[in-house]
Structure 1
Amino acid sequence: MSGKRSRSFKCAVHHRDREVCSENDFHLVDPDPPLRRMVRIIADEFLSEERDRKLYADQYTCCPPPLFILCITLIELAFFTYYWVAMGEVSPSGPVPIDSVFIYRPDKRQEIWRFIFYMVLHAGWLHLLFNLLVQLLVGLPLEMVHGSTRIGAVYMAGVLAGSLGTSVFDTDVYLVGASGGVYALLAAHLANVLLNYNNMEFGIVRIIGIFVVASFDVGFAIYGRYAAETLAMAPLGPGLGLGLSPGEALVGSGGLVGDVVEAVGVGGPLVGPVLVSRPVSYVAHLAGALAGLTIGLLVLKNFEQKLHEQLLWWVSLGVYAACTMFAVLFNVMNGAQPSFTLPHA
């Protein structure tokens, strides 16, 4: 093949990428720059229909940028750093800032901002690390596909569902962490994969992967919630005790936390420390996942909606509205739980 004809062939091959090749140009321009490759990978991972993938890959401009997940991640990291410095210690499972104005507490239900802002606190760096990784690896690509408003709605719906669900089904625990929002993102992605796994490459592998990650974390939370529900007390002498049940000293968080406080016998002298174990609340994980399955189907856009998807839309709306209304009414009618305090010398 002559040099001129070879150059013409190269120009024809790269015509679809709209690259101009002159007769004196012997260097092929990369037809797929890094940003475009990343966009195509995200489209393949998070969109089920081939026409949707092509439309997204052709139209995506990164304007506006996906700022919601990045901002939430930085806020959570900043709060963790602040309490780390303020409390002077950090561990995989603590400490938990139980006196923070942001933590959800059953004895302060009337302070409604706690039902949302508990998400900025975390119980240890392991709890924070898991949530941030899922947010960035799942939430950020979802936001690039569906936009900040829609992903923000899914995330915040999961956060609210986590605190409302905990207030109804696990009434004795405090709550910290963004697990409700994180599981809403995971469940929203899972719902999309379940509905369209036949059209997605390695669809069944993706489903198994999501279930493995979620099951490991939820299983750890369930184990921590019940296996660690203990109240280890120093002997207080015959017939003496603190008079507390394990359920009266629970804090729902991302990890097990132990607080040592001074204990005094009933009518007796100070006798020693009490170790109160505060286990994990797993209800927020499950409630957040339910919110993701419902709100995710409501707000995550399909480029071409089918009839059965419209029916699912209405069913999802009804389920989420009914659950939210029930939880709100439950909290209004039951009021705040009695405050838990430990006796001091």
Structure 2
Amino acid sequence: MLLASGASIPTIAGAVEEEYAQSEANSGHCDGYVTDHTDLASEIDIDESEYRRELLNDRWRMLFDKYDPEGFGEIPLEDFLVALQSTEWKTEIPANKRDILLARVKESRLQAITFQDFVNVMSGKRTRSFKCAVHHRDREVCSENDFHLLLHEPPLFRRMVRMIGDEFLTEERDRKYYADHYTCCPPPLFIILITLVELGFFTYYTVAMGEVNPSGPVPIDSVFIYRPDKRLELWRFAFYMFLHAGWLHLLFNLGVQVVVGLPLEMVHGSLRIAAVYMAGVLAGSLGTSVFDTDVYLVGASGGVYALLAAHLANVLLNYNNMEFGIVRLIGIFIIASADVGFAIYDRYAAEQMGPPVSYVAHLTGALAGLTIGLLVLKNFEQRLHEQLLWWVALGVYAACTIFAVMYNLMHPDYP
């Protein structure tokens, strides 16, 4: 049977199409046949897109970010109390929600309110939108209509970075920011290079002198060793750090500067750690020239103890914010006391196989770390920049350095 021109075959799809057109023309009102058929895939796409738009344009996020401009994902308690009293928050957030948030702040033992806590109170129920908002840091958006969560185990490098942040940073905000943003670029080269150079010098003098033992031999004829009778050769005040009195001395210094110095450099940067290290080295030689005038000086103990003391100051000043603070203090004191005790024994009690080697560099290097460390390390500067202790540290280091320099200038002929 042939159809006339312009005629069409009535089909279900055609009826649905015609019905949709009529409903559009009548603004959704239709007296005729209405189908219950829906396109499941289209509905899912619309649903996912709606959730994504809901998250990205979330007014809670906008309110929260005004008091979290760095994007840490949390607001300190003091700033959060200010936010609760702001006109905008009073307008946008119902009074009962503000009361709940205020109670949460008063009950919290933490130092900040996270975005998750904020959304939890504001949502009142755990909808899909809430879950997306809570885990917004772990989201991956592949397309406009594709939004899903990735909660995967971080790689080994990222776990190591997080562990270093927990160990050497005191503020939770700083730890989170460091763990999320550290890329090892530029790499921590100072401690690595100084360790390799010291190891190379020890190998060279071991081969040249034809022997090695736990406490010697000391290369007293080296142009790098600090000698009281050659104080006018100014490079000796710094370059003595490349030499060591035996493999035990070398092993301790290299071990501490790698275990403590390398993570500190990853956190604070090469320039800051180099400043602390070299300040300790100079303090070691200057202190020895004043308080132990007739001895030779080798080793990087001044710089190593400056790093140890800087980390010790970090633990002491932020004791309440650090996990296992008492364990860290005990560990640092045991290590430092054992090494200083061995150095004092070797200086006064042990049978001398050569010229005496000073232990004063350990103490003056530690003093340099306690002072210059407060001046240049990031977390110290942020906490102490406007406090009296910052200026006390600067004054102590400057006064000690000036005194040692003037003492050497006024006594050029000793010993």
TM-score scaled by structure 2?
0.64
> Do the aligned residues in 1 keep the contact of 2:298 with 2:357 (CA within 8 Å)?
no
Q: Which residue pairs with 1:192 in the alignment?
A: 314
Check if 1:258 corresponds to 2:340.
no
Check if 1:131 corresponds to 2:282.
no
Judging changes above 3 Å, is the alpha-carbon distance between structure 1 residues 54 and 209 closer, same or farther for their aligned structure 2 residues?
same
> Do the aligned residues in 1 keep the contact of 2:225 with 2:239 (CA within 8 Å)?
yes
Instruction: Give 3-state SS (helix, strand or coil) of 1:335's partner.
Output: coil
Cα deviation, residue 132, structure 1 = 0.3
| Rounded Cα–Cα distance in structure 1 between residues aligned with 2:295 and 2:214 | 20
Deviations 1:162-211 (A, max 9, x none): 00000000000000000000000000000010000111001111111101
Q: Which residue pairs with 2:43 in the alignment?
A: none
The correspondence of residues 1-345 of structure 1 with structure 2, limited to 5 A, is: 16-19=137-140, 30-228=152-350, 258-259=353-354, 278-302=355-379, 305-306=382-383, 310-338=387-415
> Do the aligned residues in 1 keep the contact of 2:268 with 2:378 (CA within 8 Å)?
yes
Number of residue pairs the alignment of both structures matches: 285
| Rounded Cα–Cα distance in structure 1 between residues aligned with 2:325 and 2:341 | 24
Judging changes above 3 Å, is the alpha-carbon distance between structure 1 residues 146 and 293 closer, same or farther for their aligned structure 2 residues?
same
TM-score scaled by structure 1?
0.77
Please identify which structure carries the higher helix content.
Answer: 2
Higher relative contact order (CA 8 A, sep 6+): 1
Q: Which residue pairs with 2:99 in the alignment?
A: none
Judging changes above 3 Å, is the alpha-carbon distance between structure 1 residues 20 and 33 closer, same or farther for their aligned structure 2 residues?
farther
| Rounded Cα–Cα distance in structure 2 between residues aligned with 1:303 and 1:128 | 30
> Do the aligned residues in 2 keep the contact of 1:158 with 1:181 (CA within 8 Å)?
yes
> Do the aligned residues in 2 keep the contact of 1:294 with 1:320 (CA within 8 Å)?
yes
Judging changes above 3 Å, is the alpha-carbon distance between structure 1 residues 34 and 14 closer, same or farther for their aligned structure 2 residues?
farther
Instruction: Give 3-state SS (helix, strand or coil) of 2:353's partner.
Output: strand
Greater Rg, structure 1 or structure 2? 2
Cα deviation, residue 15, structure 1 = 5.9
> Do the aligned residues in 2 keep the contact of 1:108 with 1:336 (CA within 8 Å)?
no
Cα deviation, residue 337, structure 1 = 3.4
> Do the aligned residues in 1 keep the contact of 2:138 with 2:151 (CA within 8 Å)?
no
> Do the aligned residues in 2 keep the contact of 1:52 with 1:303 (CA within 8 Å)?
no
User: Match for 1:105: what amino acid?
Assistant: R
User: Match for 1:196: what amino acid?
Assistant: N
Structure 1, unmatched stretches of 5+, are 1-7, 23-27, 231-256, 260-277, 339-345
Structure 2, unmatched stretches of 5+, are 1-47, 49-127, 144-149
Q: Which residue pairs with 2:22 in the alignment?
A: none
| Rounded Cα–Cα distance in structure 1 between residues aligned with 2:317 and 2:386 | 9
Judging changes above 3 Å, is the alpha-carbon distance between structure 1 residues 92 and 30 closer, same or farther for their aligned structure 2 residues?
farther
Instruction: Give 3-state SS (helix, strand or coil) of 2:362's partner.
Output: helix
Instruction: Give 3-state SS (helix, strand or coil) of 1:90's partner.
Output: coil
| Rounded Cα–Cα distance in structure 2 between residues aligned with 1:306 and 1:130 | 32
